[in-house]
Amino acid sequence: MAEIMKGESVLVMGDATKAFGGLLAVKDFSLSLPKGSLQGLIGPNGAGKTTAFNLITGIIPLTSGTVEFKGERIDGLEPFEVTRLGIARTFQNIRLFSNLTVLDNVRIAYHAHSGYTLTDSLLRTKRYDQKERELTEKALDFLAIFKLEDIAGEVAKNLPYGQQRRVEIARALACDPSLLLLDEPAAGMNPREIQELMELIHFIKDRFDLTILLIEHQMRVVMGICEYLTVMDFGEVIARGTPKEIQNNEMVIEAYLGKGAGKSAAS
C-alpha cells in the first residue's frame, strides 16, 4: 500500500459527500490517485461508484468535501471546465453522438482546443482553413492509433457494441486528458472483447501517459489490470488494497454475497 501511495497524486478526494435529500449516496469518500497508477473502484450495484465519478467530473455538485486535481481545487467547476483541465471520462451506458460519424465524434472532443474562433469560421479565414485541416488530420491519425481509421466515416450508432466502446474511449482520449475515468468499460462484452479491452487499456495508459480510475463489475478485468482497488458499499469505502488483499477481505465478500458467505467461500 505504502508503495503505491508514493509519488505525486493526480487526484485527491477528501471526505467527499453527496446527499440526495436524506439519502447519502456518497459519504466521506476519500481517494488518492498517484500519477501513472491504474486503480479500480468496485462495489455492488447502487454503492455510489458512478456518483463518485459524477462528483469528480462536476456533473453533480458536492454536498461537502473537496476534490483536488493536480493540487488545485476543482469542486464547484462546470463539467466542461473540469474536462478542459484534463479529466476525461466514458459512460456506463455508452454515450456516443450516435447520429454523427466516428470522425466527428473525435473532432468534437477537439472543440476546446480548435485553435480558431467563431469569427474565423464565419469569415472563413485562412486560420480556419488551416486549423480545420490540421484538426481533421489529427483526428484521423488519432483514429489510426485505435485502428478505427477505416470506419471514420461510419455513423456511430451503426457500429457494433465493442467498437462503440473503442470509439468512446478514443473520443475521451481526444480531450487530451491526464486522468481517465472509465465507467464499466467491459459491461456487455464477450470474453474476447474483454481481452481486447484489457490490452487497449494497458496500451493507452503507456501511450498517453495516463492515470486511470475504472469502475468495473467484471472481476476478470478488475483482478487482471488494476494495481489497487477501492471497494464501496452503501456510499462508503469498506476496503482498500491490492486485488489479492481485496479478494480475501471478509467485508468485501460480505458486501457482495451477504453475511456468512465469507466462511463458505473461504472453505
Partner 1 sequence: MELGYLAGTIVKMVALIAWIYGLLWGLGRKKLWQKALTVVLAFVVIQAVILAKLGGVALFSAFDQTLLYQAITMAMVALGLNLIYGFNGQFSLAQWGFYGIGAYCAADITYRWTNGDASGLVIVGFGVILGGLAILGVGKFLKRKRGVPVLSSFTFYLFAIVAAGLVAVWLGKAVSTALAPGFGTAEAPGPLASPMALQAVFFLSVIFAGAFAALVSFIFGLPVLSLGSDYFGIATLGFAIIVKTLLVNSDTILPFPEMKGGRGMLGIPKILASMAPGDEPGIAGFFKNWTPAWLWAFVFLILVLVIVRNFVRSSTGRATLAVREDEIAARAMGIDVAGNKLLTFVVGSFVAGIGGAIYAHYMGFLTPSSFDFIAGFNPLIIVVFGGLGSMTGTIAASFGWIFFLEGFLRVLLGQLGTDAPSWRFVLYPIALLLLMLVRPQGLLGTVEWGFFRAEGFGARLKEAIAGPPGQKPKMAGE
Q: What's the grid cell of residue 14?
A: 477528501
Amino acid, single-letter form, for residue 211: T
Q: In this structure, what C-alpha cell is assigned to residue 208?
A: 498517453
Does residue 222 touch partner 1 according to CB under 8 A? no
Whichever of 98 and 248 has its CB closer to partner 1, that residue is 98
Segment 110 to 129, residues that bind partner 1, using CB under 8 A:
110-112, 114, 116, 118, 121-124, 128
Pick the stretch among 20-28, 78-86, 202-210, 226-234 that binds partner 1 (CB under 8 A).
Answer: 78-86
Min dist. Cβ of residue 243 to partner 1 (A): 28
- Please tell me whether residue 162 binds partner 1 under the rule CB under 8 A: yes
Q: Is 140 in the site for partner 1 (CB under 8 A)?
A: yes
Least distance in angstroms from the C-beta of 128 to partner 1: 7
Size of the site for partner 1 (CB under 8 A): 55
Residue 24 touching partner 1 (CB under 8 A): no
Among 107, 142, 146, 233, binds partner 1 (CB under 8 A): 107
Q: Which of 42, 52, 152, 221 binds partner 1 (CB under 8 A)?
A: 152
Residues that bind partner 1 (CB under 8 A): 57, 59, 76-80, 83-84, 88-89, 91, 95-100, 103-104, 107-112, 114, 116, 118, 121-124, 128, 132-133, 135-137, 140, 143, 149-154, 159-160, 162-163, 166, 171-172, 175
